[in-house]
Amino acid sequence: MTKAFSSLIGCHNRKYSLQGGNDASKIMSRCLRVAVVGAGAAGLCAAQHVLSRQNTFSPPVVYELTNQVGGTWVYEERVGSHDNSQSIHSSMYRNLRTNLPKEVMMFPDFPFDQHLPSFLPHQEVLHYLERYSQQYGITPHIQFETKVEEVKPVTMEMEEGKVTWEVTSSGGQHGWRTETFDAVFVCSGHYSDPHLPSIPGLENFKGTLLHSHSYRCPESFAGQSVVVLGAGASGLDISIELAGVQAQVTLSHGRPPLRFPLPPQVQQAPPVSRVLEDGAVQFVDGGVARPQVLLLCTGYNLSFPFLGGAALGLQTICPFLHFHTQVQFALAVLEGVVSLPSPAEMEEEVRREMERNMAEGVEPRHLLKMDSAQWGYYQTLARMGGFRPPPPVTQSLYEEVWRQRQNHPQKYRQLNYRLISDIEWEVLEVQPEREVNWERGIETER
């Protein structure tokens, strides 16, 4: 249960009694003030649900570093930093299409446009989030170009056990300032700070070295030899893109050999062990390659600089559904619908769960991955928080797409699905393989 607080860092239980008159100022004086850090999908979801409970919450204050909503889904051609020297947040690349169908990916209360195919180019997801922000009246509550610098708990001396939160921000209309809130939703994302594995001799590498955070499009690698390190979603998807421009790809990873069909330009190799003095890349089995490019698709660090080192965030989940469920649970806690155990009991439960998982062989770096555990977790949160759990059809279609992706990584996006009911989905027609220039809106059949 403690996992619910991966994104809600500050709360206290407060029972509401609106009896004794409904004078607006009295009600307002009892309303909780909530801050939201970030206006990506999670932050917008938090803001929407806060706004929908106006009897118990004041309108949220949403802090957003950039000048627009969407976070990850804001494609930025540049790499490195913006003109104002702020690091580029999004790891989006030009041809990316969603790896979940829109029927699973959507917020359950806000479907995508029914005319769209199931697997969407990133532009459509951004458009969806912009519509969400407009439709629910969130945009006026966002302080754009405002960076949260510090989030700090303050213990109230007069009220035992009560904690409020000071949020210090910079930029925007107000410059540096500190505001106080009853709770803070941390929605700043965790796919921006590249994880760079320590590879002995890496400084000897003489070719182009980059992380997938800075990868934008395959054309600049046409015909080149590329070692892609890591076979997560980025490593696999980018390898397939590179094969499409006749790059010779060595997909180096520590998983059991991938058995599904890969393009002939993609060969597999075990992980990189070191870079030799002459710049050659050596693999753990002793094999050697001399690639022109070393592309690290090695994932991201959980990084929350404004929290003084705390690490939050669950992985391998169905993101928008996860936000939708966690946010409602967190608000139920704040509303007093759910009573939490003491912090000591929650810490103890986390410790026991970590120990159990490690005893079962889960690597420490994978302890925050949920995989199939996410479905039971959502049911538990919904039951405790008294809201509607995700319908069974979401899990069923998610698992079907997972299987399709494992077996046909190059083709699974050609399928279209339709939800028939809370428990049933169907496959629509199979799309011919298409080459899409999304920038210019041109599609041609291959």
Ligand X SMILES: NC(=O)c1ccc[n+]([C@@H]2O[C@H](COP(=O)([O-])OP(=O)(O)OC[C@H]3O[C@@H](n4cnc5c(N)ncnc54)[C@H](OP(=O)(O)O)[C@@H]3O)[C@@H](O)[C@H]2O)c1
Ligand Y SMILES: Cc1cc2nc3c(=O)[nH]c(=O)nc-3n(C[C@H](O)[C@H](O)[C@H](O)COP(=O)(O)OP(=O)(O)OC[C@H]3O[C@@H](n4cnc5c(N)ncnc54)[C@H](O)[C@@H]3O)c2cc1C
Q: Which residues would be at the binding site for ligand Y (CB under 6 A)? A: 37-43, 63-66, 71-73, 89, 91-92, 96, 98-100, 105, 147-148, 187-189, 191, 306, 319-320
Going residue by residue from 183 to 222, which x/- string records binding to ligand X, judged by CB under 6 A? --------x-----x--------------x----------
Smallest distance from the beta carbon of 214 to ligand Y, in angstroms? 12
Residue 291 binds which of ligand Y, ligand X, none (CB < 5-8 A, kind-dependent):
none
CB 294 within 8 A of CB 229: yes
Residue 271 binds which of ligand X, ligand Y, none (CB < 5-8 A, kind-dependent):
ligand X
Going residue by residue from 283 to 302, which x/- string records binding to ligand X, judged by CB under 6 A? --------------xxx---
Which of 93/205 has CB closer to ligand Y?
A: 93
Which of 144/283 has CB closer to ligand X?
A: 283
Max Cα-Cα span within the chain: 80
Contact call for residue 234 and ligand X (CB under 6 A) = yes
Which of 121/248 has CB closer to ligand Y?
A: 121
Q: How far apart are the C-alpha atoms of 373 and 381, rounded to whole Å?
A: 13
Which of 105/249 has CB closer to ligand Y?
A: 105
Smallest distance from the beta carbon of 142 to ligand X, in angstroms? 24
Contact call for residue 230 and ligand X (CB under 6 A) = yes
Smallest distance from the beta carbon of 295 to ligand X, in angstroms? 11
Instruction: Give the interface segment with ligand X, choosing from 82-90, 91-99, 126-134, 326-334 (CB under 6 A).
Output: 91-99
Contact call for residue 6 and ligand X (CB under 6 A) = no
Going residue by residue from 137 to 156, which x/- string records binding to ligand X, judged by CB under 6 A? --------------------
Beta-strand relationship, 61-63 and 142-143: parallel
Name residues contacting ligand X, limited to 245-284 (CB under 6 A). 253-254, 271
User: Quick one: which of 231, 251, 262, 269 contacts ligand X (CB under 6 A)?
Assistant: 231
CB 71 within 8 A of CB 89: yes
Contact call for residue 89 and ligand X (CB under 6 A) = no
CB 182 within 8 A of CB 10: yes
Contact call for residue 324 and ligand X (CB under 6 A) = no
Cα torsion angle, 298, 304, 309, 313, sign: negative
